[in-house]
Structure 1
Amino acid sequence: MEVFSAIQWIQFVMATLSVIGSSSLIAYIVFQNIQKSPEIRPLFYLSFSDLLLGICWLIEALLYGTSVVNKDIVCYNLQAVGQIFYISSFLYTVNYIWYLYKELRMKHKLHGQSTFPPVIDYTCQVGQIAIILSSLIPLLLMIPVFCLGNASECFHNFSQSHRCILMYSPPSAMAELLPSADASVCSTLYFYGLTIFLASFLLSLLTIVVLLIQAQTLYKKFVKSTGFLGSEQWAVIHIMEQRVRFYPVAFFCCWGPAVILMIVKLTKPQDTKLHMALYVLQALTASSQGLLNCGVYGWTQYNFYHLKQEARRDADTQTPLLCSQKRFYSRGLHPLESTLAFATSTSTIL
C-alpha cells in the first residue's frame, strides 16, 4: 500500500535525524568531558539508548520492501531489541527528571542555609542503582520474547509485510494454518509485549507528572523566596526547571501517538483510516526521540548562557541604586525577571 511506503520513508528520515541528534549530544558530552557528572550521566545513557533505538528504526526502514535472506527472523528480533531500547529510554527519562528534581530540591535546602552531605551521597547512590536497573530491567523483561518467540518460530505467526515498519503486528488470521508456529505461544507473547509497553509508558508518565508537579512547587518557592542568590545561581535554577518541564513534553510527544495506536488496535484490530493516520503520526514521533531530546538540551543550554550573560551585563552596567529601583518597578513583571533583577542588585552591592 502507498501508505506503508510513505511510512517507510517517514521513519527513515526521522530515524536518521534522531541518530544525528543523539550522536551530536553524546559527542558534546564526551567533548566537554562531563559524562561522569551525576546530572549528565542519566542524560548520556538516555542519549545512547536513543541512538541505538534510532539505528534499529533505521535498519527496519531499510529492510522494508527488500528480499533479504531470513528477513522475517531479522525483523522479529529487531522489534524485540527495539523494545528493550525504548523501555530503557522511558526509565532513563524518569531517572534524568528525578535527578533534576532532586538537584532543585537540594538547592532549595541549601538556600535555607542547611547542608545535607548524607542526603547528597544517598542521592548519588540511588542514581547509580537506577541507571543499572534502567538497562537491566528491559533486558530481563524481553528474554521470554527472544527465547520462546524464536523457539516457537513466532516470526512466521504474524503479518510479515509490514513488520519492519510497525511497532506491533497482530497475530495473523492464517496462523493456525502454519504447523511450524505455535499460535497460542505467539499470541501470548504478542499481548505480553504490548502489556509491557503500555505498563512501562503509563508508569513512567505517572512518575514524571508527579515529579513535574513537585518541581513546579519548588520553583514557585524559589521565586517567592527573599534570600540572597547570585544571578548565575538563578540562571541554573531556571534552566533546571525548564528541563523538568520540557523533557516530559518531548517524552509524551514521542510516545503518546504510539500508545493511542496500541489502545485503538486492542479495541479495533482491523485497519481503518484512523489506524492509518496513527501509523503515520507514530512514524513521525516515535522515531524522533533522539532529535527532540537533543533539541531540548541544546535550547535550554543556549538559554542558560544567554540568561547568564544578560545577568552579568546587567550587574556590570547598573549602579546599586538603579538596580534596587529596577527591582521595585519590576514587581509586576514575570517572576523570573524580578528575581534576576533582585539577585543582580544584591551581587552588585556585595
Structure 2
Amino acid sequence: MSSSEMQTFINGSETNFSGAHDWTNVYKAVSWIQLSMALLSILGSSSIILCLLSQRLSQKPELQPLFLLSVADLFLAVCWVIGAAIFFQPCGHLNTHCYNLHTVEQILYMASFFYTLNYVWNLFTTTRDKYSSCLSGYSVQFSNRVSTPAKIISLLSFVLPVLLMTPVFIQGNLSYCQANLTEPYRCLLMHTGALYLTSAQQLSSTCRLLHNYQILVFLVTFVLTLLSITVLVVKARRIYRRVVTSSGYLGTEQRASFHLLDRRMVLYPLIFVLCWGPAVSLAFLRVAKPTAGHGRAGVVLYIAQALTSASQGFFNCLVYGWTRVHLRRAGLTVLSREVDSRSPLLQIPQNRIYRTMRTMS
C-alpha cells in the first residue's frame, strides 16, 4: 500500500466515505497481505507436518497435538488463500460462496484454538509427570501410544466447532444470508463487511442474529482458550522452578538456562494474542459499538488482522514447533550442570534424575 493510500484512509472521516467502492485500494492491499501471510502459514505448517510424517512421529503422544495443530493451521491458511483469490476473480457468482467459506474458516480457527490448548495441556502434563518422577528419583515409563482420553479430546476439538457452527450454516443458507455477501471484499478475512455501511448494505434480522452469534462464539472461545493457556503456562513454570531450585543452589549457567525456558514459555500466550488480538478487537467493536467498528479504528484493525491472523500457521511453526526442542535442551542442560557441580556421593540421586530425563526425552 502506498503512503498516499495509507494517509487517505487514516485521515479520512466517516462522512467522506459512504460506500465500499471508496475503499477499493484498501481492500486490494488487504487481499495481497492476506495472500502473502497465508502462503507463509502454509509453508510453516507444511514443514512441521512433513517433518513429523517423514520421521513417523505424528502418532507419538508428545507430538500428536503439534501435528493436529499444524493440520488445522494448514487448512485454515488454504481458506485464507481461497478468499484472497476470489477477490481477484471477475466472476461475481463466486462471491456467493463467501458465506460458507467464512463458516468453514470459523470452524477451523476455533479448532486451532482447541488444538493450541490441547498442545499446551499436553506440555503441562508431560512436564508435571516427568519432573515429578525426577523429584522422587524413580524412572516412570511413558507409553508410546496415544491414550484413549487424548484421542477423545483431539476428536472433540474438531467436532465441537462443527456443532457450534452448524446452525449458522443451515439457517444461514435457508435465510439466503449469502445474498448479503455478493461483493468481492466479503471473502476477505473474517467478520468483514463494508468498512462503512450504507442503508442498502444492512443485514436482515435473521442474518444479523447469526452474525452476532458467530462473533460471540468466537470471542468466548478466544477468551477461554487464552485464560486456559495462561494458567497452564504459569503452572508449568512453577513446576520447573521447583525442580531446578530443589537442590538449594542455582549456578550462573543453570540460571541462564532457566531464564531461557521462562522467556520461551511466555511466548505461548503472547503469540496467541498477537495472532488474534486485532481480530478479537474488531469483532468486539462490531458487537459493542458498531459505529466504531466501521470507522477509522475498524480500518486500522482490519489491516492489522490481515497481517496477524493469516500468519498464524507461520508463527505457530516458529514458536510451537521449535520451542519444544529448546525447552527440552534447557531442561537437560540445567540438570546435567547440577550433576557436575556435586560431590560423588551427592551425585548418585541426581545421576538417577538425569538418566530419567535422558530416557524420557
Is TM (by shorter chain) over 0.5?
yes
Structure 2 partner of 1:320: none
User: What is the deviation of 1:239?
Assistant: 8.6
Question: d(CA) in 2 for partners of 1:187 and 1:211?
Answer: 36
Give yes or no for the alignment of 1:141 onto 2:137.
no
Q: Secondary structure at the match of 2:187?
A: coil
The one of 226, 238, 243 equivalent to 1:205 is 226
Alignment of 1:129-278 (within 5 A): 129-158=152-181, 160-169=183-192, 173-174=199-200, 183-226=204-247, 244-270=265-291, 271-278=294-301
Q: State the SS of the aligned residue for 1:216.
A: helix
Change (3 A) 1:206 1:307: closer
Provide Cα deviations, 1:155-187, integer angstroms capped at 9, x if missing partner: 1135734211131135964367xxxxx922211
Describe the superposition over 1:235-280 as per-residue Cα deviations: whole angstroms up to 9, x where unpaired: 9999987664322222111111110111122233242221111111
Gaps of 5+ in 1: 177-181, 228-233, 312-335
Separation (CA, whole Å) in 2 of partners of 1:155 and 1:27:
36
Change (3 A) 1:242 1:101: farther
Report the Cα distance in structure 2 between the residues aligned to 1:137 and 1:243, rounded to whole angstroms. 30
Amino acid at match of 1:200: T
Match of 1:343 among 322, 331, 339: 339
Q: 1:86-105 alignment to 2 at 5 Å?
A: 86-105=109-128
**3-state SS, counterpart of residue 247 of structure 2:** coil
The one of 32, 56, 66 equivalent to 2:89 is 66
Q: What letter corresponds to residue 8 of structure 1 in structure 2?
A: S
1:323 maps to: none
Q: Is the 8 A contact 1:91 1:204 kept in 2?
A: yes
Query: For the residues of structure 2 that align with 1:52 and 1:237, how far apart are their CA atoms?
Result: 36
Question: 1:72·1:156 contact (CA, 8 Å) conserved in 2?
Answer: no
Using the alignment, how far apart are the partners of 1:201 and 1:153 within structure 2?
Answer: 28
Percent sequence identity is 38
How far the C-alpha of 1:117 sits from its partner, in A, is 7.5
CA distance change for structure 1 residues 198 and 115 in 2, over 3 Å: closer, same or farther?
A: farther
Mark the CA change 1:143 to 1:305 in structure 2 (over 3 Å): closer, same or farther. Answer: closer
State how far apart, in whole Å, the 2-side matches of 1:114 and 1:283 are: 50
**Aligned partners of 2:319, 2:200: CA distance in 1, in Å?**
45
Kept in 1: contact 2:76–2:108 (CA 8 A):
yes
Letter in 2 for 1:81: V
Which is worse superposed, 292-301 or 269-278? 292-301
**Change over 3 Å in CA distance of 1:235–1:86 after alignment to 2:** farther
- Which amino acid is the alignment partner of residue 174 of structure 1? A
What is the CA-CA distance between 1:126 and the residue it aligns to? 2.8
- Aligned residue pairs total 313
RMSD over aligned Cα atoms: 3.4
Structure-2 separation of matches of 1:54 and 1:28: 19
| Contact 1:236–1:304 (8 Å) recurs in 2 | no
Tell me how far apart the structure 2 counterparts of residues 347 and 65 of structure 1 sit (CA, whole Å): 70
Task: Give 1:76's match in structure 2, choosing from 74, 94, 99.
Answer: 99
Q: Structure 2: where are the runs of 5+ without partners?
A: 1-22, 249-254, 352-361
Q: Which amino acid aligns with 1:264?
A: L
- Write the distance in 1 (CA, Å) between the matches of 2:100 and 2:319: 31
Q: Which amino acid aligns with 2:187?
A: C
d(CA) in 2 for partners of 1:241, 1:37: 25
Q: Find the partner of 2:148 among 125, 129, 136.
A: 125
- Aligned partners of 1:95, 1:140: CA distance in 2, in Å? 19
TM-score (norm 2): 0.77
> Deviation of residue 69 (structure 1)?
5.1
Deviation of 1:31 after TM superposition, in Å, equals 1.3
Preserved contact between residue 258 and residue 330 of structure 2 (Cα < 8 Å)? no
In 1, the alpha carbon distance for the partners of 2:330 and 2:189 equals: 43
Letter in 2 for 1:204: T
Summarize deviations over 1:202-255 as a string: whole Å, max 9, x none.
Answer: 11111111112211211210221129xxxxxx9999998766432222211111
Change (3 A) 1:275 1:116: same
SS in 2 for 1:106: helix
Q: Which moved more, 1:270-279 or 1:31-40?
A: 270-279
